[in-house]
Chain A
């Protein structure tokens, strides 16, 4: 789970109050009339690459850990959120009750560039189609390249006032479903989402930064998730890790902070086989600072003791709903890299 829990619609409400009363960014509010995640509904592709308008929120979320020709570490983020203001309504035109929001970022060891876009559904400014896969808002896009099947080969483009990037991602493994066949429980009250990932991308491309262009290559992780009420009202934020370990394994670990932290995750082997993780399987301990930009992530059952350190501690997303999202380096029992997302912390 990621900044995915952001709910665009509530940008038009008083945010701090929403954050306090109804979980982060109002994600704890009511779901009257919206479709609810169903554990009996299996994932189906390419259908589920496309939007699920009956659900309140949904996202297409790609994070890339990159290394430049200059030897420096970079991170890139491309995120598109869909928010349904109503489960029913017009399918096209200005009165369509679908609203889109997107975030893009490039992180360097000493800078963090952020851009944000909004758009209305129904008019073509933003949207997603499942086959051939295409997701877009304005001139930002995430779509199947060269007639590729599903999500196998994606072209990724975004632009802000002081940065731009164009990347190509090629999947070297299968998509993986989290939780129980993609039914991922998010809280003690049984709140859940449909959640799958494609964590096996190999990426090449170019970053355009204020100091010039950098050719980059690395790894990327795509998350797809949709739901209608993912948070319990008492849950105020979360910490989420998507880590590429050097032994070829991938680790998704997350906790939703509330009265009791709710912890879950997936350990994915190099062939895409998933071992779902629950509370007792993962120990997440924050280091110092708010938000904490270093963590220890232990999986006692796997003998994994990892340290996670931000590439750039100042990776706050200065968007309408602020949060922290940036690339991390992994050390400890096995090396690696990945992305960390933290929401619900006070940010400057």
Chain B
């Protein structure tokens, strides 16, 4: 750097010494934008890495498999027959095991043949004691968290070896041990095919006619299933990033404007324009790097705080296993810094261009900048109209991306229109109000609007997002609790450990209860997706309470007679079924008699009459039962059951416990959303504070005459604060319809695409009032400092305005 460049830099940097708050705001803007963006990116990257790890290590993603046709099974003998014919296959047994509140995936592998599947799968063979691994009681491999979750579970003496190379929430055991843990008899879930098979083998169909080849992409891929969730997070992050940029831009723009004099002086002294611009750009880049680094560090903290919630959400909504930990990825750090630089560049571009075009002798002031911003109102209105026009197109495009694009269009248009609407309202108000002070207040508010519009837009976006997501979650919660009440009717739920025990429990319970309802189920492929089929007995418990969305007349009769099947909403929507359509099922197709809601379950599901079920699935484990008994007798009966059959506490649960557990899982599922909401609102608050602080320094020339006309500083300060509150209040009112529109889109478009269920919208006045108050509180907090400074300003400073008058 030349000596002159150093001088230029120190002249320009002196600005920040005089206005440290502006520097803080600029840095805070970039830092917050980077932090939220990169935090969410880190979360997404971690989740994707978990999916990839699961796919690699379990062989679930990459390799073709042979799976039994519906209603048939694969056994060890089939595995041997294929191996003896020369096929390189390795058996797997897959299932889930209840562990406390959650379920742990059990993966049974066969280490000897698994080595022939190729390196990625071979690596998944746990190293260690093979004898202990394959012989009862067996040895399981699981990560630390899963091992801890399984600590109290009865695994028949299985020892668990904690390891780091096991996918999250998964217990890897030998195939024979898995058959025992999951009570599978001699059945296998699938045979994984090695990618390179010897030439000239006899066709598989001749050896295991009951098997079908499942292409890896044909099965549920967690990455695809959860794409919507990650898109959702990314959208939130982008929103926060944009709000952060608003802060940055208002700070940068003001700094450029206020340094016009310095720039003019420098150029008058002979410094070339290119050098001034270069130093300004370098300064901005340096600040962006500093703030970006801080943002990446903060983002890391945000991600670390969010990750457990994200893991809970993914497992709650999609049944996907993601580790709650976080790994540092260099690419992530670099992309965070790049976003910071790009954001600062976008925010600073206008300032640089203006400085480049600035006539050498033009006066520097805050006002021209603010006035120029006001000229943009018409352009903003036009852009908003264009975005509104694009919205239906996005919706028509359909799909999740279309839904999100429509939401983005709507939100941006609403944000751009906000200053236009506020300006119009103030203009109309100005014509009506009486009294000098009020007229001045309205006119001055309108004049300030341009300087605050970015901050108000940020606040509006944050509020709308909060209302939208809050309404969505609230609607979901209301629907979900109602659904739980319908679905969990039985007083007790009993899980036996063996079929013998289950039969003994049935015999023992029969004389003392109103009804014993079997909850027997089997895994099956439903319209090509892995799902579950339940068998139910004909009982008023189902007829009167089951959460049916729509059904043909006599649907329950059809189910009971084995001439109809009920499907859950997910299957109904994804497979685009209609009532009466025929649904392929193991053991023969049946017409769809009705649809029921099934929240919180990512997979397709169907319900058959018990006779029909046992005929089609004679080997399905008959372990779980619901018990109808007068509710006052339920606790005593639960205790008696536990004692009589030496059942563990978890084997008998009453309705209230199950409900509480379900609701707890539900709340955990949306914890991340709540956290992001609060963060966005916080960022908007900072944006407002920045805008007010920067405006405050420019407003003295307007306030000094009012003060000179007799208004006390204290009164002025109160008016300033009131103005902030009025603007924030107006913004909050404006945000309500925008937020409700957002909620509607989330419920009707995004949820259906992402989860396969549509929820009725429940508007919560409570939520809206709370958020309105939050907006006012935010404005109060943001406006307090500038108002306080105004109240304490010395008369000399106000007088200097007149002395400095140019």
Contact across chains for A12 and B134 when beta carbons are under 8 A apart = no
Contact across chains for B130 and A9 when beta carbons are under 8 A apart = yes
CB-CB < 8 A to B196: which residues of A?
A: 161
Q: Mark A1-27, 1 if CB is under 8 A from B, else 0.
A: 000000001011110000000000000
CB-CB < 8 A to A95: which residues of B?
A: 134-136, 176
CB-CB < 8 A to B134: which residues of A?
A: 85, 94-95, 97, 120
Name which of B125, B135, B177 has the most chain A CB atoms within 10 A of its CB. B135
Contact across chains for B131 and A94 when beta carbons are under 8 A apart = no
Count of A-B contacts judged by CB separation below 8 Å: 78
Main SS of the interface on chain A? loop
In whole angstroms, what is the CA distance A238 to B3 when docked?
Answer: 76
In whole angstroms, what is the CA distance A97 to B138 when docked?
Answer: 12
B85 to chain A, nearest CB (A): 6
Interface range, A side: 20 to 34
Contact across chains for A94 and B115 when beta carbons are under 8 A apart = no
B29 to chain A, nearest CB (A): 53
Interface residues of A (CB under 8 A from B): 9, 11-14, 85-86, 89-90, 93-95, 97, 99-100, 117-120, 123-125, 136, 138-139, 159-161, 164, 320
Contact across chains for A120 and B112 when beta carbons are under 8 A apart = yes
CB-CB < 8 A to A161: which residues of B?
A: 196, 198
CB-CB < 8 A to B85: which residues of A?
A: 139
Contact across chains for A9 and B131 when beta carbons are under 8 A apart = yes
Contact across chains for B130 and A125 when beta carbons are under 8 A apart = no
CB of B127 within 8 Å of the partner chain: yes
Q: Mark B136-176, 1 if CB is under 8 A from A, else 0.
A: 10000000000000000000000000000000000000111
Binding stretch for chain A, among B76-84, B282-290, B428-436, B601-609: B76-84
Contact across chains for B198 and A159 when beta carbons are under 8 A apart = yes
Contact of A117 among B116, B128, B129, B176 (CB under 8 A): B116
CB-CB < 8 A to A90: which residues of B?
A: 135
CB-CB < 8 A to A136: which residues of B?
A: 84
CB-CB < 8 A to A118: which residues of B?
A: 112-113, 115-116
B182 to chain A, nearest CB (A): 13
Q: Mark B50-81, 1 if CB is under 8 A from A, else 0.
A: 00000000000000000000000000110110
In whole angstroms, what is the CA distance A93 to B80 when docked?
Answer: 12
In whole angstroms, what is the CA distance A119 to B79 when docked?
Answer: 11
CB-CB < 8 A to A159: which residues of B?
A: 86, 198
Interface positions, chain B 97-118, Cβ under 8 Å from A, are 110-113, 115-116
Contact across chains for A138 and B179 when beta carbons are under 8 A apart = no
Contact across chains for A138 and B127 when beta carbons are under 8 A apart = no
Given known pairs A13-B127, A94-B134, the reply for A123 and B79 (CB within 8 Å) is yes
Q: Which 4 A-B pairs have the closest CB atoms?
A: A94-B176, A139-B86, A85-B131, A118-B112
Contact across chains for A120 and B127 when beta carbons are under 8 A apart = no
CB-CB < 8 A to B198: which residues of A?
A: 159-161, 164
CB-CB < 8 A to B116: which residues of A?
A: 117-118
A110 to chain B, nearest CB (A): 22
Contact of B127 among A14, A89, A124 (CB under 8 A): A14
In whole angstroms, what is the CA distance A100 to B116 when docked?
Answer: 14
Contact across chains for B175 and A12 when beta carbons are under 8 A apart = no
Contact of B130 among A85, A160, A164 (CB under 8 A): A85
In whole angstroms, what is the CA distance A160 to B509 when docked?
Answer: 60
A36 to chain B, nearest CB (A): 19
Contact across chains for B110 and A120 when beta carbons are under 8 A apart = yes
CB-CB < 8 A to B113: which residues of A?
A: 118-120, 125
Among residues of A, the one whose C-beta sits closest to the C-beta of B90 is A118
In whole angstroms, what is the CA distance A94 to B130 when docked?
Answer: 12
B126 to chain A, nearest CB (A): 8
Contact of A320 among B77, B80, B115, B135 (CB under 8 A): B115
Contact across chains for B83 and A138 when beta carbons are under 8 A apart = yes
Contact across chains for B125 and A12 when beta carbons are under 8 A apart = yes
Name which of A9, A118, A120 has the most chain B CB atoms within 10 A of its CB. A120
Contact across chains for B130 and A99 when beta carbons are under 8 A apart = yes
A/B interface sample: 22 pairs, CB < 8 A: A9-B130, A12-B127, A12-B130, A85-B135, A86-B131, A90-B135, A94-B175, A94-B177, A95-B134, A95-B135, A100-B112, A117-B116, A118-B112, A118-B115, A119-B113, A120-B112, A120-B113, A123-B79, A125-B113, A159-B86, A159-B198, A164-B198
Among residues of A, the one whose C-beta sits closest to the C-beta of B135 is A95
Contact across chains for B131 and A123 when beta carbons are under 8 A apart = no
Q: Mark B260-294, 1 if CB is under 8 A from A, else 0.
A: 00000000000000000000000000000000000
Contact across chains for B84 and A89 when beta carbons are under 8 A apart = no
CB-CB < 8 A to B128: which residues of A?
A: 12-13
Contact across chains for A94 and B179 when beta carbons are under 8 A apart = yes
Contact of A12 among B111, B135, B179 (CB under 8 A): B111
CB-CB < 8 A to A320: which residues of B?
A: 115
In whole angstroms, what is the CA distance A14 to B127 when docked?
Answer: 8
Contact across chains for A139 and B175 when beta carbons are under 8 A apart = no
Among residues of A, the one whose C-beta sits closest to the C-beta of B77 is A124
Contact of A119 among B83, B136, B174, B176 (CB under 8 A): B83
In whole angstroms, what is the CA distance A29 to B130 when docked?
Answer: 15
Name which of A13, A94, A159 has the most chain B CB atoms within 10 A of its CB. A94
10 extra A-B contacts, CB within 8 A, seeds A11-B115, A159-B86: A9-B130, A12-B125, A12-B133, A86-B131, A94-B134, A94-B179, A95-B134, A99-B130, A119-B113, A120-B110
In whole angstroms, what is the CA distance A97 to B129 when docked?
Answer: 12
Contact across chains for A94 and B76 when beta carbons are under 8 A apart = yes
Contact across chains for A123 and B76 when beta carbons are under 8 A apart = yes
Contact across chains for B86 and A138 when beta carbons are under 8 A apart = yes
Contact across chains for B176 and A93 when beta carbons are under 8 A apart = yes
Contact of B83 among A14, A125, A160 (CB under 8 A): A125
Contact across chains for A138 and B130 when beta carbons are under 8 A apart = no
Among residues of A, the one whose C-beta sits closest to the C-beta of B133 is A12
CB-CB < 8 A to A89: which residues of B?
A: 135
Among residues of A, the one whose C-beta sits closest to the C-beta of B85 is A139
In whole angstroms, what is the CA distance A325 to B83 when docked?
Answer: 26
Contact across chains for B115 and A97 when beta carbons are under 8 A apart = no
B656 to chain A, nearest CB (A): 42
In whole angstroms, what is the CA distance A160 to B86 when docked?
Answer: 10
Contact across chains for A123 and B135 when beta carbons are under 8 A apart = no
CB-CB < 8 A to B129: which residues of A?
A: 12
In whole angstroms, what is the CA distance A320 to B116 when docked?
Answer: 11
In whole angstroms, what is the CA distance A249 to B174 when docked?
Answer: 49
Contact across chains for B131 and A97 when beta carbons are under 8 A apart = yes
A309 to chain B, nearest CB (A): 33
B553 to chain A, nearest CB (A): 51
CB-CB < 8 A to B176: which residues of A?
A: 93-95
CB-CB < 8 A to B80: which residues of A?
A: 123-125
In whole angstroms, what is the CA distance A93 to B198 when docked?
Answer: 27
Among residues of B, the one whose C-beta sits closest to the C-beta of A10 is B130
CB-CB < 8 A to B179: which residues of A?
A: 94
Among residues of B, the one whose C-beta sits closest to the C-beta of A90 is B135
In whole angstroms, what is the CA distance A95 to B131 when docked?
Answer: 9
CB-CB < 8 A to A11: which residues of B?
A: 115
B92 to chain A, nearest CB (A): 13
CB-CB < 8 A to B110: which residues of A?
A: 94, 120
Contact of B84 among A97, A120, A139 (CB under 8 A): A139
CB-CB < 8 A to A125: which residues of B?
A: 79-80, 83-84, 113
CB-CB < 8 A to B130: which residues of A?
A: 9, 12, 85, 99
In whole angstroms, what is the CA distance A90 to B677 when docked?
Answer: 59
A199 to chain B, nearest CB (A): 30
In whole angstroms, what is the CA distance A123 to B129 when docked?
Answer: 21
CB-CB < 8 A to B175: which residues of A?
A: 94
B186 to chain A, nearest CB (A): 9
In whole angstroms, what is the CA distance A43 to B662 when docked?
Answer: 68
In whole angstroms, what is the CA distance A228 to B86 when docked?
Answer: 31
Q: Mark B634-661, 1 if CB is under 8 A from A, else 0.
A: 0000000000000000000000000000
CB-CB < 8 A to A124: which residues of B?
A: 77, 80, 84
CB-CB < 8 A to A86: which residues of B?
A: 131, 135
In whole angstroms, what is the CA distance A199 to B111 when docked?
Answer: 35
